[in-house]
Structure 1
Amino acid sequence: MKLPFARRTARTRQALFRPVDRENLRWLWTRYLRTRAPWLLLVLLLIAGQGLVYQQFLSLTENGLRVIFEEGAVTQLARVCVLVFVLFVLRGVLSYVTPRLTAWLAANAVLAIRKDLIAHLLTLDLSWFERTTTGEIILRLVNQAEGMARFIGQSTANAVRDAVTIVIVSGYLIWKAPVLFTVAIVVIPVIVLVMQFVSHRIKAIQTRAQAALGDYMTDIEEMSNGMRTVKIAGQEDRERDRLFAASTGIRDLAVRLQATQALAMPSIDMVSAFVFVLVIGGGGYMVISPEYAFDAADLITFLLGLVILFDPLRLLAGYFAQLQSSMILLDGLRSLLRETPTIADRPGATDRFDPAGDIRLEGVGFAYDPEHSLFDDLDMVMPGGRTTAIVGATGSGKTTVLSLMTRLYETQAGRVTIDGIDIRDIRVRALRDAFSVVAQDIVIFNASIWENIRYVRPDATDAEIRAAAEAAEIAELMDRRGDAPLGPKGSQLSGGQKQRIAIARAFLRQAPIVLLDEATSALDQRTEEKVQTALRRLGQGRTTIMVAHRLSSVVGADHIYVMDAGRIIEEGPHEALMAAEGLYAAMFRSQKQSYG
């Protein structure tokens, strides 16, 4: 979907600055740069000083030429030479201080942007992360933010310096020879047309390049995460070809972008050549003609001024070409901040509720896809302080029930209550603090087991972490590994070891409601029996809700819901469901035979 859009963009004529570009620049200035205005003013003064050096250089050069042409004294020439040297030493100092200061300002501005992006990112709904690739997120937080640092800092500072130099030197040349300068600037409309043409092409190519880079990052993540499957299936060549093709596409777009940006420089050079011809011809006539008070020193100084003028003009043209790419980066960053969470605290939401109360789903309707409803008028009751199990085939909606209770998703009809209070009337943070979750999708960080357990309660004491590890049967492995990291995503652990870390976290968190989502699915039968004992201790005096595929783990539940395609088809304790000889009984006997 992205590529056709980029192609349509390439065919559409755009203004140098679109309305969204102007709005984004206002946002950047108002939120991140205006508070640094005093420092920016200092930078501007330093830059103006660099421009004045050139103007004084031209004036001294003219004086030096007159000393030479008019047979002046050697001391006068020496004085001019010393002053020119002093001027360029001053410019050297300013050229060192200015980028240091601008780099510091840009780094702090981009740090503030990154902090806002990260803070906002963590407020977004789970559904946003499920439809957004990791590559897109990394692209914004890393590549685009770094690109903005260069834009805000050195690139813009240099462009301002070049613009100030152009204004000051142009003013001096106008004062020296207004007619000749007028002849020189007749080609400015050509420069404007060239820059407009280049900017249209750059915006289109940059949009496609950013999309391609985001897809490339996603491809790398998929390859890395699926390396076990890649190796077993012998698909290394296929993955290599896929990433090679993506890399080639990025290279082609990068070459096209650079080629388009490069159009600006030779265009300015061609225009400069035409201007020099006009000035040499016109200026030479003015020197020869007695009608003008214009001599050879004036002409040489004027030509030198044009040389000085056209160099920053070329650089400024290049900056405006790069500016179009920066506008795409800026809009990419701000597009993340435009995303708004749909799950948030209602006005007047409370922290006060009894998490030990009954949890009810009343007439709940929900759909991931508007055209395919998952739940229609779903009713369930999870009594407080008791253990409730939810079983059923894959895709029946078991885990979705847990997600709705914790407001990872919002119900689209009906309501979920705890102790009679609609969970939408409870502050999100207070609601989620009431839950401990042991899920089948376990997040393991590349740190020690100790640090992984401690993650859910950074303020926990060593004794509490130790007790949680022992309760989850992971203490022995924790002692053996010590401070050794577990590898990316816990790659050095087995599935059962990862799940025991998750169980240890639940022990440490000690929340009043425990959610077990396939909590023992990766354990062998012997280990499962040990962990089930630990889980029963964890659930004592707490509301426990179990989602399980292995029915042997739910036998002791006070109440069991059997779901199929988003509907409850059976419910009751284990004995009653077995006696009913329905789906649950058939599934249980089938699994028992399979496990032996």
Structure 2
Amino acid sequence: MSDKTEQTSDTAQASGQTQGTAKSAGGSEIPAGYETAAHVKGPLFSIRDRENLRWFWTRYLRHRVKWLLLILMMILVQGFVYQQFLAMTESGLRVIFESGAVRDLVIVCIIVFGLFALRGLMSFLVPIVAIRVSNAAVHDMRSDMIDHLMALDLAYFERTRSGQILQRLVGQTQSIGGFVGVQLANAVRDAVTVLIVSGYLIWKNPILFGTAVVVLPFIIWVMNYVSDRVKETQGQVEHAMAEYMNGIEETVNGMRTVKIASQEHMEAGRLKAGTRHLREISARLQVTQALVMPTIDLSSAFVYVLVIGGGGYMVLSPDFDVDGAGIITFLLGMVMVFDPARLLAQFFGQLQSQLVVLDRIRSIYDEVPSIQDVPGAVDEFDVAGDIVLSDVRFSYSADQPLFRGLDMTFEGGKMSAIVGATGSGKTTILSLLSRLYDVQGGKISIAGQSICDLKVRSLRESFSVVAQDIVIFNNSIWENIRYVKPEASDEEVWRAAEAAEIADLIRARGGATVGPKGAQLSGGQKQRIAIARAFLRDAPILLLDEATSALDQATEERIKSALDRLTKGRTTIVVAHRLSSIADADRIFVLEAGALIEDGRHAELLAKDGLYARLYQAQKKGYDGR
């Protein structure tokens, strides 16, 4: 465990529960900004919702307005077809009831068929164009999210579960794309149909239409009632899904431990419990959304009764100029209004869910990287100069300071080593040197120049790192080495492989992949890949972070020659647990609880008979006793 992990595990766990979420009455987490929905009935669109919609429109839809206008024009054609269908239906009914001319009836039928053929063509084209627009928007959104994620500080990834990132980058963006590409286009079509057909019905019989819409305020009230509950429940669903995905990832990544410990039943039980929770909360969301449809159905039945009763009275009464054809057409028109109106009501329920999803996506952009180039930052600096930590102060959490004024000097061109117990700050020093974190006080300089005045990219390109935890991709060994320098020539890669003594393995395996996380490689082979990467990068400053601590002594001896060649002529800083491996270091720094308590050469520190000497003797006794 690294020194940082020990100090921040509890803090990260606590902050993870509050970052971007709040507790609902039932104990589940919901997105920040939506926590009041469970207690106070809010507007259909909150201020945050409007901001998110404006953000989505501005970044991903506004520059595609010509395609959106094309979609709107085709939808207007669909609405116009329905209005003309009603007009032709009334004419056809009068032909049947009054004139009885077969020729006129045939003409009406041909026109109606042509109208619906036109609507069918529009129904085919609208989703095609809408899906193309939404797919392009999703592509741009994912690209922007990837760029933003790559720019965020390491601290964000250490406090955010990977399942949450995966859910936002994959599932939630796809959900938004499907909603915009299909459901939103359908909703606009339904709204246009309602407006055009309603306008026609008002023109035909305003009294009867006015009677029919008396239920409209009730429908609006139902939608507001349901939307509040959908918004809260959808937040709980999104959180539960992120937890579920994270649990699956942890189980898959730890399958070796699961199998060895024979804990398959426990992991299956844990995942099944997550499945049940997700099912229950999803069912609650679906039940909430399902309240809309029966309400609209009952309202529709009430309207139809009013139209039939009121329209029948108008036909029977001599005071109104209404005939049977007009009433039948009006009823048909009300069906055309209420069917899309039902779909619109359902759409608004789904919209509340998507607003929560959109808020989750946009919340990534609320994270702003703190480690950036300052104005006037430079590229050039003396990479061979001394690296100096002056009165450095740093902590991962305010109540647990790590460094309270640390002073250290790593001489340029020489090997320096840092030793100490777990949690003493060894790995943190390397993180501060490469600006994965910034110091909170004091200064770190290279050849007298503060690293904060250097461009971050230039600073980090001056380091090569060989760490205990090596990232190996499911690719060939060759491509894994080349990862740190994609533009490297074949000759350069072979030179690095030969220097790291892994060239023979490349020849034996060829282009075969090494499995997820290098599962087909031994620890020593992974270390040689890391060393080959460092040779290929050929940076002037080398950081070795417990590079051999996971290896047995025999394997360590085999790669020691490669490490010796790698460190020659470079400023090298070694974090070591095995003290015998840094006996030749030019200077050794001994840390305890974030404080420097000893420094010197190996022999000098042994002569002091302090902490270093005690650690060395304890390790030596352990090796001798084996």
Q: What TM-score do the two structures reach when normalised by structure 2? A: 0.94
Taking the aligned partners of 1:394 and 1:366, their CA distance within structure 2 comes to 17
Query: Would you say the 8 A contact 1:374–1:565 is kept in 2?
Result: yes
2:591 corresponds to 1:563: yes
Q: Secondary structure at the match of 1:292?
A: coil
Residue equivalent to 1:317: 345
When structure 1 is superposed on structure 2, of 528-537 and 296-305 the one drifting more is 528-537
Taking the aligned partners of 1:285 and 1:370, their CA distance within structure 2 comes to 79
1:387-426 equivalences in 2 (<5 Å): 387-426=415-454
Taking the aligned partners of 1:399 and 1:547, their CA distance within structure 2 comes to 7
Query: Would you say the 8 A contact 2:542–2:571 is kept in 1?
Result: yes
1:335-414 equivalences in 2 (<5 Å): 335-414=363-442
Residue equivalent to 2:23: 4
Q: Secondary structure at the match of 1:374?
A: strand
How many Å apart are 1:541 and its aligned residue? 1.7
Residue equivalent to 1:44: 72
> Counterpart of 1:215 in structure 2: which amino acid?
E
1:208-247 equivalences in 2 (<5 Å): 208-247=236-275
Give 5+ residue unaligned stretches, structure 2: 1-16, 27-34
Taking the aligned partners of 2:502 and 2:553, their CA distance within structure 1 comes to 16
How many Å apart are 1:6 and its aligned residue? 6.5
Equivalent of 1:204 in 210, 219, 232: 232
- CA deviations 1:75-125 (Å, max 9, x no partner) are 100000011111111111100000000000000011111111000001111
Residue equivalent to 1:90: 118
> Counterpart of 2:434 in structure 1: which amino acid?
T
1:438-587 equivalences in 2 (<5 Å): 438-587=466-615
Taking the aligned partners of 2:25 and 2:101, their CA distance within structure 1 comes to 67
Residue equivalent to 2:192: 164
Taking the aligned partners of 1:6 and 1:241, their CA distance within structure 2 comes to 27
Equivalent of 1:142 in 170, 192, 197: 170
- CA deviations 1:187-245 (Å, max 9, x no partner) are 10011011011101100100000011111111111111222222222222211111111
1:162-201 equivalences in 2 (<5 Å): 162-201=190-229
Taking the aligned partners of 1:170 and 1:58, their CA distance within structure 2 comes to 11
Taking the aligned partners of 2:439 and 2:536, their CA distance within structure 1 comes to 30
Q: Secondary structure at the match of 1:192?
A: helix
- CA deviations 1:374-431 (Å, max 9, x no partner) are 1110000001111100011111110000000000011011010011111111110010
How many Å apart are 1:3 and its aligned residue? 7.0
Give 5+ residue unaligned stretches, structure 1: none
2:305 corresponds to 1:277: yes
How many Å apart are 1:569 and its aligned residue? 1.2
When structure 1 is superposed on structure 2, of 28-37 and 295-304 the one drifting more is 28-37
Q: Secondary structure at the match of 1:70?
A: helix
Taking the aligned partners of 2:519 and 2:261, their CA distance within structure 1 comes to 19
Taking the aligned partners of 1:141 and 1:328, their CA distance within structure 2 comes to 15
Query: Would you say the 8 A contact 1:51–1:161 is kept in 2?
Result: yes
Q: Secondary structure at the match of 1:202?
A: helix
> Counterpart of 1:180 in structure 2: which amino acid?
L
> Counterpart of 1:175 in structure 2: which amino acid?
W
When structure 1 is superposed on structure 2, of 129-138 and 574-583 the one drifting more is 574-583
Q: Secondary structure at the match of 1:563?
A: strand
Taking the aligned partners of 1:114 and 1:228, their CA distance within structure 2 comes to 33
Query: Would you say the 8 A contact 1:365–1:376 is kept in 2?
Result: yes
> Counterpart of 2:179 in structure 1: which amino acid?
F
2:49 corresponds to 1:30: no
Query: Would you say the 8 A contact 1:287–1:296 is kept in 2?
Result: yes
Taking the aligned partners of 2:110 and 2:25, their CA distance within structure 1 comes to 57
Residue equivalent to 2:30: none
Identity among equivalent pairs (%)? 59
Query: Would you say the 8 A contact 2:41–2:225 is kept in 1?
Result: no
Q: What TM-score do the two structures reach when normalised by structure 1? A: 0.98
Taking the aligned partners of 1:86 and 1:368, their CA distance within structure 2 comes to 71
Taking the aligned partners of 1:181 and 1:529, their CA distance within structure 2 comes to 91
Q: Secondary structure at the match of 1:436?
A: strand
> Counterpart of 2:340 in structure 1: which amino acid?
P
> Counterpart of 1:122 in structure 2: which amino acid?
M
> Counterpart of 1:156 in structure 2: which amino acid?
L
Residue equivalent to 1:106: 134
Q: Secondary structure at the match of 1:122?
A: helix
Q: Secondary structure at the match of 1:351?
A: coil
Count of aligned pairs:
596
Taking the aligned partners of 2:507 and 2:231, their CA distance within structure 1 comes to 56
How many Å apart are 1:12 and its aligned residue? 3.0
Q: Secondary structure at the match of 1:14?
A: coil
Equivalent of 2:284 in 233, 256, 272: 256
Taking the aligned partners of 1:269 and 1:582, their CA distance within structure 2 comes to 84
> Counterpart of 2:164 in structure 1: which amino acid?
E
Query: Would you say the 8 A contact 1:6–1:205 is kept in 2?
Result: no
Residue equivalent to 1:58: 86
